[in-house]
Structure 1
């Protein structure tokens, strides 16, 4: 009598499908009775068929490795997996162990004929395409709800979720307000973690979440469909929410300004021999490239951590340095506008600092709300007047005069490693390798 494993899965996308798990199980048991099979194990799970790291699927793979059974029984091929590569890999491993497979509803797969193998490939591809379409429909539906002001994710701290609308939990909301006040008062991330028993990423999420100013967001992070890894800092969208804000908009903006300054202040020059570490990326990949070395061939290169694209270190750095030298010559033409721009920047910094002090006074309870609102409104008006005088993107402030910078760039090869890297970070925002023939250097100044 053949020993069998029954594998059953339903999708986590459709709640109503979960009821079919019991029906699948009963049909599988009846099928085994009819075929006079001995049921060794039944594996059941709810999850996406695209993933190969789901608990039940891993259990099935382990049973295959141990070669503990003779036949795998499943309801239909798409229940086994919705990823062509994962499915073919699984079938290949079973064939190596002389394990057969049978589909309850697709009897034409239950042989080793060329026609069955062809149908297996066709159905596997069809299942993956269908999975992509389902995923796209779900994503579009979630974006639609988000654009309408609904919240379709887990509620952030300070809110409860009811019918896709956030409602304030006042006790938790007051803690969120305290976190914002403490941060503006100078508390570090570490202090906030200790005081509010929250992780560092948790504190950062609270301090940057637009939900607290009555907004909804979509698309800023997600999973790579091929690797399954979490991807952040994607281009997303922000919409007006149907819920009440917990944090005042001016306080939220002030916190974002402080975070931005913290980021710039704490930017470190990485201790590595590769000049472009942290600056270089490949085309549309979200992760930066990093330096590697083949010691046997004495060959150094940069490699993308997303797609594994690589390119010679010597070639890339030579192109970027030559580009920087050529670019620095044009900085002389900016001398006339520099004084005006610096004066504008200094005035803006002055008003930003003043607004921050007023916000701190208000959050500490030293300033009445009406007086606070009038003062902030006046400052915002002044800031807008200054910004309207020159409708150009703000440039990174350089504290050294251009002539000196140009001289330093000319003698780039004479600088030490850390000086070179500091100079590159001062001038360059990022280096994008479009292809092996095209390298784009994006400058800050």
Structure 2
């Protein structure tokens, strides 16, 4: 008599919350980690890696890969989801519980590596609620601290310049903004035409006719 073992179709979800280079490196590492992790486990087969880059975890609205993964679960294509932590899965407690319950109803287990919790275990929802609340609180505190820091810097006259896409200025040797003469002429031209009554579209067309590139280096404004 043959014994039949069920092979779990396992998906991984990973996310990094910013577009900074070190965070994107973390994203690549997560994809590599889960590919190796799932392929090396007996009784598991890799269903897919779902990864959102540069997306906040406070809402699932704009997380395309997360939503695609949920659709696959509803189609019966996934048996288990593995993710780094509750904070990676969601930093909104309501969303976290909503989707954990939805997935449990679909028979899909969510395994949170960092906490060592399987969502289909007895009492798991209690721990998920606690950890989810902590993650949400941390996210809100970070956001508040960033806003306070920017406001404080503005009061002190310290402004962060995105020089790469900033027309008219570059970073000087002393670290302070320095006027770029040729770009300053472009800025004067834009203001002159605006004060003369030209529309934004009309000004853009004039700049393109003159062959003046946009702040991002594109021929089209």
TM-score when scaled to structure 2?
0.73
Aligned to 1:41: 48
Match among 136, 143, 153 for residue 145 of structure 1: 153
**Partner residue of 1:168?**
179
Label 1:190 to 1:16 Cα distance change in 2 as closer, same or farther (>3 A): closer
- Cα deviations across residues 55-91 of structure 1 (Å, max 9, x unaligned)? 3323323323333111011111111111123222322
159, 172, 176: which is aligned to 2:169? 159
Does the CA contact (< 8 Å) of 2:15 and 2:27 recur in 1?
A: yes
What CA deviation, in whole Å up to 9, does each residue of 1:142-184 have, x standing for no partner? 3333344343254543234579743323222211111222233
Change in CA separation of 1:13 and 1:125 when aligned onto 2, cut-off 3 Å: farther
Confirm or deny: 8 A CA contact 1:2 1:38 kept in the other structure.
yes
Contact 1:8 1:74 in 2 (8 A): yes
1:185 to 2:191 alignment: no
- Structure 1 regions of 5+ residues with no counterpart? 198-445
Q: For 1:252-304, what per-residue CA distance to the aligned partner results, in whole angstroms no more than 9, with x for missing partners?
A: xxxxxxxxxxxxxxxxxxxxxxxxxxxxxxxxxxxxxxxxxxxxxxxxxxxxx
The unaligned stretches of length 5 or more in structure 2 are 1-6, 209-221
Give the one of 123, 126, 135 matched to 1:118: 126
1:50 lines up with 2:58 in the alignment:
yes
Larger helix proportion of the pair: 1
Aligned pairs for 1:327-406 (under 5 A) are none
Greater radius of gyration (CA): 1
> How many pairs were matched up?
196
* Closer, same or farther: CA 79–165 of 1 in aligned 2, 3 Å: farther
Q: 1:153 to 1:58 in 2, by over 3 A?
A: farther
Change (3 A) 1:65 1:108: closer
Aligned pairs (5 A) from 1:195-210: 195-196=206-207
Matched position secondary structure for 2:117: helix
The CA RMSD over aligned residues, in Å, is 2.9
In the alignment, structure 1 residue 5 sits paired with structure 2 residue 11: yes
